[in-house]
Structure 1
Amino acid sequence: MSDAAGRISDKACVYATGSFERLEAGPESDLDLFIVGIDTGDRKKKLYKSALSNLDATLVKADLISTTRLLGIKDFDGDGKYIAHFSAYEIIDSLGEPDDDVKNTLTSRLLMLLESTPLLGEGVYKIVIDDLLEKYWRDYADHKDDFVPAFFGNDILRLWRTFCVNYEARTEREPEDLKKKGKIKNYKLKHSRMLTCYSALLYMLEVYREKKSFDPDDARHMVSMTPTQRLEWLIENSKSSEAKEQLTELLTLYDEFLKSTSDEKLLGDRLMDPQLKEEYAKSTYKFGDTMFKAMTLIGGESKLHRLLVV
């Protein structure tokens, strides 16, 4: 990727999300990537412009495509249409805007903070992370001793609800092959997507309960971990033995999920089998129920827990 690295230089970064970032990739996993450039436009007028030109971004995408094929990695999902290129302020300032979800800036922003790792342009990547956290923690200076990260928590919940709504709205039930694909997506939604969002909320609840605040450094530490690493950290640091039991159970259930998704064709056939599909349905509900119990135990009816629920 030396050519792509040269084009990006100090202008932009490429970061990976999904199963590769979570260190869970299997033979059938594809690579989920985003490109974010330093903004050179007029922010006050919302005229955003990436320092990486569109032509150079196209060449970077071409390098990424040829490299993944050389390595035997599955082609990018959606024929490459999801390799989005944004300017930094475009994904930061879109927060709360009506078209945040439409432009895919919601997903780009939250996945950058919840499950991402830089492939190219690590310096720019760190700058954008800091700028994002500054946006969410803009009121921190006036509330250092009792800062509640409700702004960030609500955006995480919005991402989770968006995942759920998009699944229901965009998943086809006919014909048979699309129905099978939809069942696989649903199974992943209720495990990996849930864990991405709720491992962060669990982490925030635990730190807030102990410190009665949650500072930007706490957020940076959380961002640096994969979802399962957050669970491992919680098992080691939580003061609640009951919560540790639920967290350990979550890891066990998630391990079973990863094993079952290692062969998607076999998984799809099993999810369509009238006798086996009920077992898989029970496993998804068990994972969600265990997550709920962990949230309840760690939240402990704290102020942050209350704000995330109501």
Structure 2
Amino acid sequence: MNIERFSKFKSLDAAYKHSASVISSLRRDLESALSESNLKDRLTVVTTGSFGRGEASAESDLDLFIFFDSDKPEDSLLEEKKSIQDVVDRYVKKPAGDTGTFGSEAVVNFSEMLQNLGGDKDFNVLLTRRMLFLLEGKWLYGEERFKAYRTDLLNKYIKAGDPERQISRFLLNDIIRYYRTIATDFEFKVTESSKSWGLRNVKLRFSRKLLYFGGVISVAETAFVAQADKNGLIVEILDKTVLERVQDIGADNPHTLEILNIYQDFLATIECPKNRELLEVVTKDNRTNSDLFLQMREKSKDFSKVLDNWLKLQYPDNENNPHPIHNALIF
């Protein structure tokens, strides 16, 4: 891990280093806290969200969930859950959200992640955990199990008998479905659940969009790779944060710098407590009265254009050898 990779971008650099430092401390302390547990070999603790993306600050909460590989009831984990929460509280002051999707009480048997993909029991919470686990997940405890789980899940999407030298449309379609679900759920959360509108809208325009983009380019990179090598390559790509992927894959792409500069401005804006307060009170009805929101909305349009330009330059859709990602994103 090159901890200095974003050193030219003040806000990105600070967030990247803060995320890495907290994750390192959590890994060390969780290893110690769970060392005496009889269930320690059945537990895997995963973080997603801003810490998983390497863009957390002191104001960030920690999205986590626990894989419990056992037939024992969840009640048998009471001591372990308390130990995990105690460790988290040492380093992260803001509590996790109230949806139940994340936090030390969010316990999942990994087998649930492998069942009913796209079926009638593939509820939003399962889709959310599955996609975030793949696209931005980082292990906090149980590294080897985490890696094995990710490989097992990818094997559900990228199967041994799939056609050679094509992208995984199954995986891509689920990434697309997740992103569209986020956009659709946003309306529900702000209208039916009375969640704040302004800050959520800005995050949707930047961090959620970038997460989606990071999934798309992960799939695109496997387009002309032999089937036997696809899974290993995409695991290697997904081990990186989204910004690491953009920077490494697009090392020679001139639009990479534009992406980093725009995202740097986004992080700098929402890291400022005053800006967060201003955005928190923005509603759908009064949004045109907020100069800050209008500025972020215009920047988000530029962000979309730059991401599109990056994708087109990185994966040319020329007549002689068209890259399949462009057709697959539409059809």
TM-score, structure 2 normalization: 0.78
> Structure 1 residues 31, 142: closer, same or farther in 2, change over 3 A?
closer
Given that 1:202 and 1:298 are in contact with CA atoms closer than 8 Å, whether structure 2 keeps it comes out as no
1:274 equivalent in structure 2: 290
Q: Secondary structure at the match of 1:78?
A: coil
Match of 2:13 in 1: none
Letter in 1 for 2:275: L
More displaced 10-residue stretch of structure 1: 254-263 or 269-278: 269-278
For 2:68 and 2:88, the matched residues in 1 are separated by 22
**d(CA) in 2 for partners of 1:221, 1:81:** 26
- Counterpart contact for 2:198–2:279, Cα < 8 Å: no
Question: Which residue of 1 is the match for residue 122 of structure 2?
Answer: 100
Shift of the 51–123 alpha-carbon distance from structure 1 to 2, 3 Å rule, reads farther
Q: How many angstroms does 1:195 deviate by?
A: 1.0
2:58 to 4, 10, 27: 27
Supply the AA of the counterpart residue of 2:121.
Answer: D
- TM-superposed CA distance for 1:212, in Å, is 7.5
**CA-based RMSD:** 2.5
**Among residues 167, 181, 197, which one is paired with 1:148 in the alignment?**
167
* Match of residue 234, structure 2, among 209, 219, 222: 219
Change (3 A) 1:250 1:66: same
Q: Does 1:133 align with 2:154?
A: yes
Question: Which residue of structure 1 lines up, in the alignment, with residue 79 of structure 2?
Answer: 59
**Distance of 1:270 and 1:79 partners within structure 2:** 21
Question: Which one-letter code corresponds to 1:98 in the other structure?
Answer: D
270 and 13 in structure 1: CA distance in 2 versus 1, 3 angstrom threshold: closer
Secondary structure, aligned partner of 1:34 = strand
Superposition pairs of residues 58-207 of structure 1, within 5 angstroms = 58-78=78-98, 82-83=102-103, 84-102=106-124, 104-138=125-159, 140-143=160-163, 145-172=164-191, 178=195, 181-207=196-222
Cα distance in structure 2, aligned partners of 1:106 and 1:220: 19
Question: How many residues of Structure 1 are paired with residues of Structure 2 in the alignment?
Answer: 285
For residue 249 of structure 1, give the secondary structure of its aligned residue in structure 2: helix
Name the CA shift for 1:11/1:260 in 2 (closer, same or farther; >3 Å).
Answer: same
Alpha-carbon distance in structure 1 between the residues aligned to 2:232 and 2:137: 17
Give me the whole-angstrom Cα distance separating, in 1, the residues matched to 2:99 and 2:165: 47
* Preserved CA contact (<8 Å) 1:16 1:34: yes
CA contact (8 A) 2:52 2:137 kept: yes
Give the one of 260, 268, 274 matched to 1:259: 268
Deviations 1:180-205 (A, max 9, x none): x3210111111111111211212332
TM-score by length of 1: 0.83
Paired amino acid for 2:190: T
Is 1:232 the counterpart of 2:247? The answer is yes
| Gapped regions of structure 1 (runs ≥ 5) | 39-49, 239-243
Q: Which moved more, 1:194-203 or 1:265-274?
A: 265-274
CA distance, structure 2, for counterparts of residue 69 and residue 233 of structure 1: 34
The structural deviation recorded for 1:86 is 1.4
Residue equivalent to 1:42: none
Shift of the 211–68 alpha-carbon distance from structure 1 to 2, 3 Å rule, reads closer
Q: Distance in 2 between matches of 1:215 and 1:200?
A: 14
Q: Which moved more, 1:299-308 or 1:150-159?
A: 299-308
- Structure 2 letter corresponding to 1:225: K
The equivalent position to 2:299 in structure 1, one of 276, 283, 288, is: 283
3-state secondary structure, aligned to 1:118 = strand
